[in-house]
């Protein structure tokens, strides 16, 4: 006996109603702004036909303030799982066309249930934020819902990758769930993220501030450092999310998606040409990275923030790596408060997800200055030391040129646990630069010299050759080998293959106490 056609008709009608979200008129207005609907975002993200929805027929339970007469399809959030490049991923998208995407009790429960499923199944979680915030009609139930989502964010942290996409308004408490994830991607237009808006800021402090100054993607990417990537639009945001996932394992137990092939250990003569003839001329580290990673495919993270340090993902002979590199083109490659935070966070993320770390060093030291000292450069710089020392993944360091003082240590020296440390012949490893050391050590000689400037240059050259040479570090077994720049890719590729089976057992403890 066949199923009653009326039952099928009812089901299809309910499904059609849900797919209309808050109405065709609202969806049309969003498309005019260049925005997608919640379902469209997920359909763009997942492979066709692989999306399985969780809770399409869920309904809110609020009866106050006339809510008993309102129908909110799927309570304003689309949840489910699907395949991305053949791998399962859990995702939810808040729907602004349904009650402004406001979060209520059932809305929060759907998100939490999906996160529990992802936790148990060992798959990444992607959340698309597009919400007016807490559903005021539900009062404390809404606040409780936020708390439950935050708790799940923390529970899943370090277990499965979590990526937040800011594709609309994300205000007040709603901003904290994205802030608790591993990566934040924000659309350039039609989105904002803040705790207090312009009116609240004006009332509380008397300051006049526009949203563009503190809540936009540009502000978060370059000033506050709250987000990792800026997308041109919704489609681009979902493409960036998929690209990011292509470098990450599904969970902390699995290996990253390496694509191991036969090793090509041939020299790259072009790398020799990238080294400037003068130590005072800045090295273009992006050109080095481009030669180092497979097909020049480097996925930079936080490219607009703390630009004296470059971080991002790539593959070297098929091995997924996280790259941390000083950028001498900006602030001479010094480590400051922001770049230390940026580096430490990225290092810890790589360590969570079993991603080997390749460190490219050309650092003259920590950034000097009153603002840096008063801002806590000691505490922030210590984060780099802590992150590298605590990391148990393979750590390969390449000292290209300057490696001075505490910053030399903070860029993963052998003493901080680097498994292999290579150096170019141009490397200078010392407590400080030759010129500075000469001024301290030979002050009297310089005063008595007929030509102090020429004398200083002469002594600096002697100091550089005797005390800052990579061969002194090599003689003391502080580096693995001194190599030609042309052998950089081959040396690192071989080192990565030899350390993929690394095991590093640490003392049992809950966790270390990083200097936050």
Q: What is the pLDDT along the chain (516 residues), one digit of tens a residue?
A: 688 889 998 899 888 888 887 778 888 888 888 899 999 999 999 999 999 999 888 887 777 877 777 888 888 899 999 999 999 999 999 999 888 888 989 999 999 999 999 999 999 999 999 998 888 788 888 899 999 999 999 999 999 999 999 999 998 888 999 999 999 999 999 999 999 889 889 899 999 999 999 999 999 999 999 999 999 999 999 999 999 999 999 999 999 999 998 999 999 999 999 999 888 899 999 999 999 999 999 999 999 999 999 999 999 999 999 999 999 999 999 999 999 999 999 999 999 999 999 999 999 999 999 999 999 999 999 999 999 999 999 999 999 999 998 999 999 999 999 999 999 999 988 865 556 555 666 676 666 676 767 666 666 666 666 656 788 888 888 899 999 999 999 999 999 999 999 999 899 999 999 999
Q: Residue 316: what pLDDT? A: 98
Q: What is the enclosing helix (H) or strand (E) of 381? A: helix 377-390
Pairing relationship of beta strands 77-84 and 87-94 according to DSSP bridges: antiparallel
406 tagged catalytic: yes
Pairing relationship of beta strands 125-129 and 162-166 according to DSSP bridges: parallel
How many angstroms separate the CA atoms of 49 and 171, rounded?
Answer: 33
DSSP-based three-state secondary structure for 80: strand
407 tagged catalytic: yes
> Do 357 and 386 touch, CB atoms closer than 8 A?
no
Q: Residue 392: what pLDDT? A: 97
Q: Residue 438: what pLDDT? A: 57
Residue 66 sits at φ, ψ, to 5 deg, of: 75, 5
Catalytically annotated residue among 38, 325, 403, 407: 407
Q: Residue 279: what pLDDT? A: 80
Catalytically annotated residue among 158, 172, 225, 318: 172
Q: Residue 101: what pLDDT? A: 87
Q: Residue 70: what pLDDT? A: 80
Catalytically annotated residue among 76, 133, 173, 322: 173
Catalytically annotated residue among 375, 406, 417, 436: 406
pTM over 0.95: no
Tokens of residue 512, six digits = 């270390």
Q: What is the b/e burial string over 314-330, where b = at least 16 CB atoms within 10 angstroms of the residue's CB?
A: bbbbbbbbbbbbbbbeb
Q: Residue 379: what pLDDT? A: 97
Residues 6+ apart with CB under 8 A from 65: 137
> Do 122 and 160 touch, CB atoms closer than 8 A?
yes
């Amino acid at each position: 006996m066949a199923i009653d056609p009326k039952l099928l008709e009812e089901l299809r009608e309910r499904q059609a109603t849900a797919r209309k979200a808050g109405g065709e008129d609202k969806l049309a207005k969003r498309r005019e702004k260049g925005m997608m609907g919640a379902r469209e975002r997920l359909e763009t993200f997942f492979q066709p036909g692989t999306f399985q929805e969780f809770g399409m027929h869920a309904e809110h339970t609020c009866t106050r303030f006339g809510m008993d007469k309102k129908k909110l399809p799927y309570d304003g959030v689309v949840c489910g799982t699907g395949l991305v490049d053949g791998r399962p991923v859990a995702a939810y998208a808040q729907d602004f066309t349904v009650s402004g995407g406001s979060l209520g009790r059932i809305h929060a429960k759907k998100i939490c249930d999906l996160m529990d499923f992802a936790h148990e199944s060992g798959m990444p979680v992607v959340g698309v934020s597009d919400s007016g915030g807490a559903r005021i009609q539900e009062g404390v139930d809404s606040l409780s819902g936020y708390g439950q989502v935050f708790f799940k964010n923390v529970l899943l942290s370090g277990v499965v990758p979590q990526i937040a996409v800011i594709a609309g308004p994300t205000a007040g408490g709603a901003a904290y769930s994205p802030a608790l994830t591993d990566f934040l991607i924000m659309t350039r237009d039609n989105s904002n993220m803040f705790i207090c808006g312009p009116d609240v800021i004006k009332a509380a402090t008397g300051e006049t501030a526009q949203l563009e100054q503190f809540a936009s993607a540009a502000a978060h990417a370059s000033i506050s450092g709250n987000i990792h990537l800026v997308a041109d639009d919704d489609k681009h945001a979902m493409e960036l999310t998929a690209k990011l996932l292509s470098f990450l394992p599904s969970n902390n137990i699995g290996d990253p998606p390496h694509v191991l092939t036969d090793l090509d250990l041939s020299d790259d003569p072009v790398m020799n040409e990238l080294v400037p003839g003068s130590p005072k001329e800045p090295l273009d580290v992006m050109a080095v990275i481009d030669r180092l990673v497979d097909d020049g495919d480097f996925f930079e993270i936080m490219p607009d923030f703390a630009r004296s340090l470059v971080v991002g993902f790539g593959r070297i002979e098929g091995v997924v790596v996280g790259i941390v590199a000083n950028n001498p083109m900006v602030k001479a490659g010094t480590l400051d408060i922001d770049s230390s935070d940026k580096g430490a966070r990225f290092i810890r993320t790589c360590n969570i997800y079993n991603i080997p770390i390749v460190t490219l060093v050309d650092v003259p030291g920590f950034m000097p200055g009153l603002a840096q000292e008063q801002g806590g450069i000691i505490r922030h710089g210590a984060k780099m030391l802590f992150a590298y020392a605590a990391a148990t993944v393979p750590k390969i360091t390449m000292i290209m040129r300057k490696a001075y003082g505490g910053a030399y240590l903070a860029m993963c020296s052998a003493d901080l646990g680097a498994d292999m440390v290579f150096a170019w012949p141009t490397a200078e490893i010392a407590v400080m630069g030759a010129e500075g050391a000469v001024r301290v050590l030979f002050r009297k000689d310089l005063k008595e010299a007929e030509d102090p400037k020429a004398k200083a240059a002469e002594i600096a050259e002697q100091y550089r050759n005797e005390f800052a040479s990579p061969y002194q570090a090599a003689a003391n077994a502080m580096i693995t080998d001194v190599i030609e720049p042309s052998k950089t890719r081959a040396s690192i590729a071989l080192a990565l293959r030899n350390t993929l089976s690394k095991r590093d057992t640490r003392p049992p403890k809950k966790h270390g106490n990083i200097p936050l």
